Structures are given as C-alpha cells and as structure tokens.
Amino acid sequence: MKIMIALVSLLVFFTACNTPKEVASKDTIISITHGTNFGHCRGYCRKELVFYPNQINYFEASVDSTTNPVKVENFKNTSKEWSTLTEKLDLKKFNSLEERYGCPDCADGGSEYIEIKTAEGTKRVTIEFNKEASQLEPLLTELRSQRKKLLEN
C-alpha cells in the first residue's frame, strides 16, 4: 500500500511539473478564413481559404458533389505571410463588428466573409461579394490580394 501511495505521489509530482511551453491567450489567433458563397449557382459555389500560421487550406464545394466533387488544395504559409495578415487585424475592433453588412447574396449577388478563430471562440462577418467594406480594412484587401496570388499561380 505504501508503495502504491509513493508511486501515485511521484506520478502527480512529475506531471504537475510538466507545463506546456506556450499557453495560448484568449486573443491568440488560430486561423483566419476568407470565403465566398453564391446561393444559386452551378458549379463550385462555395470557395474558402483558411490561413493558419504554417499552412493555407483551399476548399471548393458545389451543391452537386457528384458532378463537382469537393476540391481541396494545401499551400505552405510562411511566418512572414502570417504576420502580414495578423498585423492587419484589429481583433478588438473585429469582434465589435456586426455579423452582416449590406445584403449578402441577395439576388444571387454572392457573399464574402471573414472568420477569425481564437482560443476564445469564432467570429464571422459577412458582406456583399466583392464590395468595399471599410470596417474590415485593411485585412480584407490583404486577404483578397493573397487569394489572387495563390489561386492565379
């Protein structure tokens, strides 16, 4: 019995001393997503880029996945490119924004969104496709620029 208590004590001691190297704060940005969607279209109606510190995932989906199977492509993201994005984001301002501006996807004009995932949660802001949105600047311009650079190559 004494041996069992000693082993448990040692186990507790060693696991208590094992602390993670980096603890994520509630404002740590996990991912930044930039997507577009068209409610009434044929073909690939939903396209999304998800930026992570070391990679970017591109995703295309269709209403008809038999004719148009889901497309996924992955790109490498550098710390410089990640910093360029995160520096353009005022997280406090972004979290105070409304969820929707204008009339996204009305009359199939399409919608565009930015979604920020942090350790505390996820916030998405949706606007009309390809419209100016001063409340999302300068992040929106940078996301559009990176989208164009990645997908035109």
Per cent of the chain over pLDDT 70 is 84
Round to whole Å and give the CA distance between 45 and 14: 52
DSSP bridge pairs for 62: 44
Q: Which position has the higher pLDDT, 27 or 85?
A: 85
For range 97-103, the mean pLDDT: 96
Q: What is the pLDDT of residue 153?
A: 64
Could you tell me the two tokens for 17? 């001393």
Q: What is the pLDDT of residue 25?
A: 75
**Mean pLDDT, the chain, whole residue set:** 85
Give the residue extent of every domain in the chain.
32-148
Q: What is the pLDDT of residue 64?
A: 87
Round to whole Å and give the CA distance between 16 and 84: 37
Could you report the per-residue pLDDT of 17-49, keeping only the tens digit for each? 443 444 557 789 999 999 999 988 888 999 999
Cβ atoms of 65 and 42 within 8 Å: the answer is: no
Compute CA distances 75 → 38, 81, 147, 149, 153, whole Å: 24, 12, 11, 12, 12
Q: Computed from CA positions of residues 34, 38, 39, 43, in that sequence, does the dihedral angle turn out positive or negative?
A: negative
The separation between CA 6 and the C-alpha centre of its own chain, rounded to angstroms, equals: 47
Asked: is 32-148 a CATH 3.30.1560.10 domain? The reply is: yes
Q: How confident is the model at residue 8 (pLDDT cuts 50, 70, 90)?
A: very low
Report field, pTM of the whole predicted structure over 0.85 = no
Round to whole Å and give the CA distance between 22 and 115: 24
Per cent of the chain over pLDDT 90 is 70
